[in-house]
Amino acid sequence: MRFKLPFSAMAFFVAANFLPSAQAQPRRSNSIVWNEPNPPGVRSTALSIALYSDQKVTVALQDGRLFSGEIDEVRAEEFTLKTHFSPAPISIHFDAVHSFRWTDPKHAGDPYAIKELATRLSHQPPATARVRLRNHQSLRGQVRDAGELEFTLMMRDSGEVRTLHYRDVQDLSDPGKTPAQDAEKILRNIGLLLAGIVTLPLALFALLIGWDGC
């Protein structure tokens, strides 16, 4: 069976599937409501929001008051919120929270992946890892204690112990990976890219001339 795909339809298919969109996608808004006090649920949500840098959140309390700012610390029974009206972060108990509302962060970083790797490295034999921060600063040292929002790094040269928030880290290297493994991954990705470059024009040409493989 032969069929011919109109050129205009083929062009639309290519543009829709392979060309980047010129229109920015809107960031998604999120909200969660507790009709009665739920400290474990509030704490878990606060930790998730606090993993991201510059993440603004609106907090509604059970008594109707509203606060907006950035979650600074998450403790056992409360969290602190940095606001514009108070020079110091304010403390809010989990059982006082009625709802959270926030918007997905702008950056594409993944603090969950950083946290997962830091946790794994903290339980392995000491090895030097490389940390690249969002302010472009590079550090080298051994990953030590990995907590809920931050981890400690013992600097390789000075022995100084620094505390780093996951949300401030752009990249964390895995000392277990060898240069050969990294090179193999790069070559594999290049091979996939070249295969796509060769295959895609042929597939589109086949559609254009109506070739059915026979």
What confidence tens digit (pLDDT) does each residue in 153-188 have?
999 999 999 999 999 999 998 886 554 545 555 566
Residue 207: per-residue pLDDT? 65
- Say which residues have a Cβ less than 8 Å from residue 36's Cβ, sequence separation at least 6: none
- What is the rounded CA–CA span in Å between residue 145 and residue 116? 12
Strands in 94-160 per DSSP E:
97-103, 128-133, 138-146, 150-155
Q: Tell me: do 117 and 50 sit in the same domain.
A: no
Q: Tell me: do 51 and 91 sit in the same domain.
A: yes
Structural domain contains residue 7: no
Q: Which amino acid is at 52?
A: Y
Q: Tell me: do 90 and 123 sit in the same domain.
A: no
Q: Tell me: do 36 and 78 sit in the same domain.
A: yes
Residue 53: per-residue pLDDT? 79
Domain that holds residue 132: 111-172
Q: Tell me: do 124 and 164 sit in the same domain.
A: yes
- What is the rounded CA–CA span in Å between residue 139 and residue 129? 8
What predicted TM-score, i.e. pTM, was given to this entire model? Answer: 0.65
Residue 26: per-residue pLDDT? 52
Q: Which of 61, 82, 103 is the last residue of a domain?
A: 103
Residue 32: per-residue pLDDT? 94
- What CATH number has the domain bearing residue 90? 2.30.30.100
Residues of the chain with pLDDT under 70: 1-27, 105-109, 176-189, 191-196, 198-214
Structural domain contains residue 153: yes
Q: Tell me: do 55 and 89 sit in the same domain.
A: yes
Q: Which of 55, 81, 103 is the last residue of a domain?
A: 103
Q: Tell me: do 96 and 117 sit in the same domain.
A: no
Q: Tell me: do 145 and 160 sit in the same domain.
A: yes
Length of the chain: 214
Count: domains in the chain: 3
Q: Tell me: do 166 and 182 sit in the same domain.
A: no
Structural domain contains residue 79: yes
Q: Which of 103, 127, 146 is the last residue of a domain?
A: 103
Structural domain contains residue 121: yes
Structural domain contains residue 84: yes
Residue 205: per-residue pLDDT? 64
Residue 175: per-residue pLDDT? 81
Q: Which helix (H) or strand (E) holds 162?
A: strand 161-165
